[in-house]
């Protein structure tokens, strides 16, 4: 750890551990925005796949 201090000249800081939450609230306006943006990304990423599925 002292290598980091010598190399970059910064002090290490102890940060609190943040526990991950498995619950995701998709209700309301913010939830709707999350669903829309994720759907848009999936459709862009897998455009060819969805086109093939549409014509099966």
| SS3 of the chain | CHHHHHHHCCCCCCCCCCCCCCCCCCCHHHHHHHHHHHHHHHHHHCHHHHHHHHCC
The pTM of this model reads 0.51
Dihedral of alpha carbons 8, 10, 14, 19, sign: negative
pLDDT band at 1 (very low <50, low <70, confident <90, very high): low
- Stronger pLDDT, 24 or 16, i.e. the higher one: 16
pLDDT at 35 over 80: yes
């Amino acid at each position: 750890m002292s290598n980091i201090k010598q190399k970059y000249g910064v002090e290490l800081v102890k940060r609190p551990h943040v526990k991950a939450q498995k619950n995701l609230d998709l209700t309301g306006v913010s939830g709707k925005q999350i669903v829309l943006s994720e759907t848009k990304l999936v459709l862009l990423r897998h455009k060819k796949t969805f086109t093939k599925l549409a014509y099966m």
